[in-house]
Structure 1
């Protein structure tokens, strides 16, 4: 059950961030740590925000069982231009935080997956009014950094822990 008071929510957030810090300790310094946590928090937020927006629109249109998270990427393309005009960016269902997190532990190329997702989010705004706002948004979140681990497997282990910790936060 999620904490109900602001103080309890803040304490839960601090506890989770401390757990993430312990998981990344020794490999990521304080500034980089902030970049990873804030970058992943933002990625989760925009994924959930976009999903809620699209689900509400479809539910209001009578498609009450629609869930953007479960849609096929090819079926989701119908809304790209409208969503970018409204939200300033676009994320395919397979690239949503929750879906990437669900596959993370079994993704041997998680670092490459995340890098591709971040580039796709930024590329979705190219040539639009929001391009300057979205461009470089994830530049500080280097998923291929040796600071996360000396091998791809070690980096991916840290990234899985980071995704899980951010995903477990009661936002």
Structure 2
């Protein structure tokens, strides 16, 4: 069923959407489905929903819905996945895990964007990758460049941004350069440039000499 958002003003009174105080945008229905799923969770329920990443950082109505979810301690974990995992889109999607039985007010962020196997046309999550994600999810342990549990206050102060990249520092994969080696290579390059200049000066002088004789 197509989400019509504010085109139907009665939706704001719907028990599924009313608690958030605002409707998801007509053109971006992700949070409409999120709130729908949340409304069906029991007091011990949990839901994992695949979402496009924009809803985790955009402003407006989506920010207000994020605030509602965070303020009421419904967001257990946000997991960013690698791009090109699903047929039909190369976008890197994000899994939003909702829970009505959290034991604290922190939210876990997992950066699983580097966990994939490269196939011909798509990327694939292997069983080993899934197991690694689930181990981190279950333990709620912090792991550098992979997972961080963030206090409610920090998220609130960050305008309720739920983007994983805002809380998990990406690993720097750039090659470490040895300064001594770099300086030696630079010295050799400068020497070669100086020699090249001398060679060019010699050629120019020879050409000018030929012109004078002519």
TM-score by length of 1: 0.25
TM-score by length of 2: 0.21
- Answer 1 or 2: higher relative contact order, Cα 8 Å, separation at least 6: 1
Higher gyration radius (CA): 2
Structure with higher helix content: 1
